[in-house]
Each structure stands twice: as structure tokens, then as C-alpha cells.
Structure 1
Amino acid sequence: MSEDRNNQNPDIIDDDLYEEFEDEELFELLEEERRKPKPEKKGPVFPKWAFWLIAIMMFINVIAIIPKTFSLPAVDFLFKSAQLSTNSDINTYQRSIVVVESGKSKGTGFSISEDGYIITNHHVIDNGEKISLAYPEEGLFQGEVVAEFESVDLALLKARRVDGKKVEDLPSLPLAEETSFKEREHVHFIGNPLRFTGIANEGEVIGYTRLDDWEEDVLMLDAPIYHGNSGSPVINMEGEVIAVVFATIKREQHGKVGLAIPISYYHHKIENLEESQTPDQ
């Protein structure tokens, strides 16, 4: 959470998107869903037995008899992800999404090279604990921190095989050279929200915003972002990563929105790092 540095209407940022789903947020999300205007229904009506099944699961979930997994928003994004995954491009993107675990924290990362370089949020791995990485098809790897860019909440990791063998032929996502977009441009993002993995969803880019405790502007997304989405790639219609999800915030004009770090910030940090490591001639 951000500090009240100016003591006047500070930005309250939820950047703990890797933490477990709490009961209070569950109720808040349910109330939010209940208050939403209901669109005119077309086609087959949602069966009553399915509604009551979800309601029963929710009741059991709240009293903690089973793990906290099911919620109405969760059902929504599972259906959406299943729908989007029928798109061959989305299905290909999902192969590059990595589960990043460090101690008790769990978030998202995405592969950017065949030899296992991965981008995630700095706050996902800043606890000093051992890092584990899991690709959807290639399995488990050990994670090594290559670079940390705390000022823009990014980190570069390297996947290492447990058996010490060379890492190669891993799926990866291309990065846009710069963060460019049109207002309300349609984008996809893929991550590991709640206790699920590789969940695809969609949204729109609202534009830039400035946070109280950031020196750089970040992107606002009109998109359903939950705990576990930290480090999710924001992918444009050309299949390039233009930003990295890191938090949510409430804005008077837009309500609850997602926040994402422009990928151009990553490029700038890497360039500065390489320059600083180049020996003087």
C-alpha cells in the first residue's frame, strides 16, 4: 500500500495482487456484482440448478470448510478464459505464462526468451525467499534474480533447471519496442488470479495516470484484475506485450481500475543497466 506522503487524499493502491483471496474482498466482489445493472438476457437462461450449486459452494467457501476458491466473479472469468482460449493466438500466449512463487507469495510472470528470461513484479519476489517457477507445459524450474527495478516494480528472472541442464526452447512473448496505444484500445492479459493458473481475460486501455508515490505515469486498464494477476502481461492485438499489471486502484471517474507498468520502462532500465556494466574504453 502507498504511504500518505502529502496527507491529502493519497492514492490507495492495492499492489498485493499475489496474496490470498480474503473473505472481506469476497463479500465486496459479490456486492459489486449484485449492484451491476443486469443486461437484457438473450438465448438460453442460466439453469437454476447451476445457480444454487454456485450459491452452496460460496456458502461453504465463506465458512472455510473447503479452500477459498469459488466466487461468482471467479466463475465469470473462468467462462471468459475458456471462451478466449478457443482463439489459437490466446492459446499460444498462455504457454508463456509462468507461476512465480517466493515464500508465501504467488504471482504471475511471463517468458520473454527461449532460454528462460522472465519478467514479473518486484513486489512478488522481494521477500528474499527461494523462487520457484512453473511453466504450463515445461514444468518446474528454479528462479534466479537477474535484475531488480524497484522504482518501477519490475524484476527480471532467469529459469534454471533443477538438474543443471541447459535451458532452451521455451515459449516466449515478444515485447513491444515502446508502449503505444489508442484510447480504449482492446487488450488481453493472462495471469494466475486467485488459485487458478493461465487465465486469459480482456479489457481496454483507459490512458495514463500519475500516482502519489511514483515518478512515472502508469497505465489504467478497464479490466477485471484480481489477486494473483501481479506480473500479468498486457498484450495488444499485434501479440506484443505493452505493459505489466501490478496493482488496482479506485478512481472517481472510472471506479476500480487495473494499473500496469508500460513496457518502455523495462527497456529503459535494461539499457541503463547494460550501459553501467559496460567497461570504460
Structure 2
Amino acid sequence: MKDYKKIGLTFIVALLGAFVAIWAYTSFFEKPEVITVQQDQAMRYASLPSAPQGEAPDLTYAAENSVHAVVHVKVTSKQEVQQYHSNPFYEWFYGDRNPRQQQPRLRQGAGSGVILSADGFIVTNNHVIDGADDIQVVLNDNRQYEAKLIGTDPTTDIAVLKIEEDDLPHLKFGNSDALKLGEWVLAVGNPFNLTSTVTAGIVSAKSRNIGINRVDMGIESFIQTDAAVNPGNSGGALVNMNGELVGINTAIASRTGSYAGYSFAVPASIVGKVVDDLKQFGQVQRALLGVMIQDVDAKLAEEKDIDVIEGVYIREVNENSAAEEADIESGDIILNVDGVTVNSTAQLQEQISQHRPGDVVKVLIKRDGNSKQIKVTLRNMHGDTEIVKASDNRFLGARFEQLTENEKYQLRISHGLKITDLSKGKLKDAGLKEGFIITDVNKEEVESVNDFKRIVNRADGGILIEGKYSTGEPAYFVFGTK
């Protein structure tokens, strides 16, 4: 009991000693100064950052690198206008008028173009210069030049121009196949005649077919972006963040005629090949598999008992085609070309369009559930591998030129060749006139002088020429080959 009292007394003494020490320190020594620190930044939770940590992409280099290589393309064309004199008595009975004379009316248009080389080769859209009688190119520094048309390809809506100048700023081609969805791109052009305009967006889709190119064998495999593009941007540049040309801006999806959210560009993989062909051969060397194709969707998969929705379905194989020669069959499904996956007709067209007749490609097909790789030697539209160069546009005493898309539209035809000059020769002797448009020779369609020559040179006997005058009046002529 004494021990407990002794321990309790010791505890009380120690406690009193502590109080006495605290009282003495606070009474006889200086009090500490309390400093409040005000922070400039708000407190943040470590696990929930209050703002994104990444930075917006810097597009200044790409813009500066491309804006000086994009030009303003101005075109002037002449349109024939039919004038009439009034004859009330005639019109009362027949509701028609008699033509008096034709006077040309000037039509002006504008678009954009991209300089591809220091010596003045320029790429633009075919629809920008289609039917133009005069083409002017204005550089970013306001220098102006008359441009020469090197060649056009309506199937891809691409045209190549040339101006006489050296040391021009120009763009290099980038890899459009490497573009990824969500990647930043710039559209550079001259919308509404506002020169040197740059807009930014992302890649929204690839290999898009929008049904705008309605020419025979037209190719559509557009890069879709949300970069603002308006009338006047056609033919301008689509560039990546490295300032490389990855596409030529061509179309917009709009009900008003102005930008409504989506724009479309021909990919550089197609543009580069077309430009090289036009510069080297004067016309595009179109390689074909020779098949009728369609996308594989749920409906087709059910109809044909296809286990996996993938690839491109072959509905029909053309006779004397590259596909027939390689033993490709209808019902086969093309999975890839040279290792590049194709899951739509647009993707397949894009891959094949990068080649020329005579090129060999590796095609992976699926047949009866099994995969098989086949080597295919591509052919041209005539069924051979010949590379065809542009001729001098003279044959049988006549000079020709290809029809513009506007002329085809006015005459409601899809093909044809117009006589622009006629001298002594078989065509003049047969009764053909300048301005006559040849559409078919021996029941075969003609689109170029090479087509005309090929049909005539292999003919055995007479030649039947069918066509129309510029008024739309049809006519035909016959003459012998000897």
C-alpha cells in the first residue's frame, strides 16, 4: 500500500514540475513569430488534376512551310451563246425560234494549286481547269504567270500545270497511307478568293467514297477531315504537321455550297502516281485487275454464307483480264494487296491505282474459307501490259482534242473525241467536219487518239464512225482502210 502511495506522489510532483516549466518559459522568454505563407496556385488533388497536362499541337511550322507553295489558279473559258431573232408567227405554231448567230461569253473561275518542284510543275484539280481557254497562276508573293496544261486525269480529278520560273518554293509528298485517324492536318488554299488561307482539323476518316466523281472508271478514296474548306480551296494542299503534302483538297459535304463540317482530299499516294504519269507519258497509265467488286456487309455475308465480314467480294471476273490470267474466281474475297489490308472497294481501288500496267502485285484472297496469296500482273483497259504514251493528236489528216466534262454534260455523252482541225485525208474525204465529235469507231468507244488509232489499225475492211455535232445532231460515216 505504501508503494502505491509513493508512486502516486511521484507522478503528481512530476506533473506539477512540467506546469511550472511551461509557465516559466512563456513568461520570461520571447514568443515565436508565426508566419503565414500565401501560395499563388490553388491546391490540387494528386489523383485528380484540375487541367489537362498536354499542350495544343504547334502547327506554325507546317503552315509557314506550305503557304508559300500554294498558288491561286484563275481560269477563263469561252461559252458559245445561241442568239435568236423573233418570229411571232413561227413561234405561235411551233413554239420555236430560228438561230441568228453565236457570240462567245467569257466565264471566269478560280481555285488553288500546289507547286511540286522548283521549276514550276503545279498540281490542281481537273474540275478547276476543265474547259479553260486561259489559265493564270498567282503566287503567294503576287507574281503572276500564264500556265501551260501538261495533262489531266478526270478519273482521279487531278491535273498538272507548268509555269516558266526557277527556284520556286514547293512541297514534298508525304506518306498519306501512314495518316492516322485523329491526326492533325492543315488545309491551305484560296477560299472565296481569300488568298493564302490556312485552316486546321483532324483526319476524320480514310478511303471515303462519296460518289462525286461520276466519270467512267472514276476513283474515289478520299481523306476526310474537319478542316474548313470552301469554294476556291479545290486543288489546294492538305499537309501534315511536318509540312508535307498528303492530299489535294477536292470536295466538301454541304447542302449550301459552303463548308458544313467535312471536307475531302485525294490522297498523295494517288496524286503522286498520276502526276508522274502525266509528266512522263502525257496520260495516266491505268492498271486494272479486271473484276467487278462490292463491299462485304452483313447482307452479303448472309446471302453468300460468309463467316467473317472482311475484305472485298468479287462478283465477276472479266474475260482476258489480269484476274482471269491469275486464276482469281468470282466469289473470291480479296483481303489485302501487297500486305495492305483492304476492307472496302475504295481501299482496293486506291492500292491498285498506285500501279501501272505490267506491275506485279501480291493479292491475298480467301476462297472456301482458306487464304491464298496470288501474284497478279496488272493490265490496261485493252487487256495488255503496254505503256501508252500520248500521241501528237493527229491522225488521218485531222487533229483532235479530248472533250471536257462540261461538253460531255451538254451533249449527254460519257466519252468522245473532237475534231479541231481537218486537212486532206480519209476523214475529210468521208465528209467529216471540224467540230464533229467521234464517240464510237466500229462500235467501240473512243476517248483518245490512241483509242482511235488502235481500232483503225487492227480493222479488216471498212471503218464505221459514229458521233455528234456540237448541236447534238447525230451522224455516222463509213470509209475503207485501203
Matched, 1:87 2:92: no
Q: Secondary structure at the match of 1:179?
A: helix
Structure 2 residues without counterparts, runs of 5 or longer: 1-56, 77-107, 281-386, 391-482
In the superposition, relative to structure 1, how do residues 178 and 91 fare at CA in structure 2: closer, same or farther (>3 Å)?
A: closer
8 Å contact 1:102–1:127 — kept in the other structure? no
Supply the AA of the counterpart residue of 2:388: S
1:1-281 correspondence to structure 2 within 5 Å: 87-103=60-76, 104-137=108-141, 139-160=143-164, 167-208=165-206, 209-212=208-211, 213=214, 214-250=218-254, 256-273=261-278, 274=280, 276-277=388-389
8 Å contact 2:61–2:242 — kept in the other structure? no
In structure 1, the residue matched to 2:37 is: none
- Cα deviation digits, residues 120-145 of structure 1 (max 9, x gap): 11101012320000112260111011
Q: Secondary structure at the match of 1:175?
A: coil
Inter-partner Cα distance in structure 2 for 1:120 and 1:85 = 27
The structure with the larger Rg is 2
With a CA cutoff of 8 Å and minimum separation of 6, indicate the structure with the bigger relative contact order.
1
Q: Secondary structure at the match of 1:223?
A: coil
Q: Secondary structure at the match of 2:110?
A: strand
Inter-partner Cα distance in structure 2 for 1:190 and 1:197 = 9
Supply the AA of the counterpart residue of 1:196: L
Inter-partner Cα distance in structure 1 for 2:223 and 2:132 = 28
Q: Secondary structure at the match of 2:193?
A: coil
Cα drift, residue 250 of structure 1? 5.0
Supply the AA of the counterpart residue of 1:102: V
Inter-partner Cα distance in structure 2 for 1:110 and 1:199 = 13
Cα drift, residue 177 of structure 1? 4.6
In the superposition, relative to structure 1, how do residues 224 and 138 fare at CA in structure 2: closer, same or farther (>3 Å)?
A: closer
Inter-partner Cα distance in structure 1 for 2:131 and 2:58 = 33
Identity of aligned residues (%): 26
8 Å contact 1:112–1:174 — kept in the other structure? yes
After TM superposition, the score normalised by the length of structure 1 is: 0.61
Supply the AA of the counterpart residue of 1:230: S
Q: Secondary structure at the match of 1:99?
A: strand
- Cα deviation digits, residues 40-67 of structure 1 (max 9, x gap): xxxxxxxxxxxxxxxxxxxxxxxxxxxx
8 Å contact 2:72–2:112 — kept in the other structure? yes
- Number of residue pairs the alignment of both structures matches: 187
8 Å contact 1:180–1:242 — kept in the other structure? no
Cα drift, residue 89 of structure 1? 4.2
After TM superposition, the score normalised by the length of structure 2 is: 0.36
In the superposition, relative to structure 1, how do residues 233 and 210 fare at CA in structure 2: closer, same or farther (>3 Å)?
A: same
Structure 1 residues without counterparts, runs of 5 or longer: 1-83, 161-166
In the superposition, relative to structure 1, how do residues 183 and 86 fare at CA in structure 2: closer, same or farther (>3 Å)?
A: closer
Inter-partner Cα distance in structure 2 for 1:237 and 1:86 = 6
In the superposition, relative to structure 1, how do residues 243 and 141 fare at CA in structure 2: closer, same or farther (>3 Å)?
A: same
Inter-partner Cα distance in structure 2 for 1:272 and 1:97 = 22
Cα drift, residue 218 of structure 1? 1.2
Inter-partner Cα distance in structure 1 for 2:197 and 2:58 = 9
Inter-partner Cα distance in structure 1 for 2:137 and 2:58 = 22
In the superposition, relative to structure 1, how do residues 140 and 267 fare at CA in structure 2: closer, same or farther (>3 Å)?
A: same
In the superposition, relative to structure 1, how do residues 142 and 240 fare at CA in structure 2: closer, same or farther (>3 Å)?
A: same
8 Å contact 1:179–1:243 — kept in the other structure? no
8 Å contact 1:85–1:91 — kept in the other structure? no
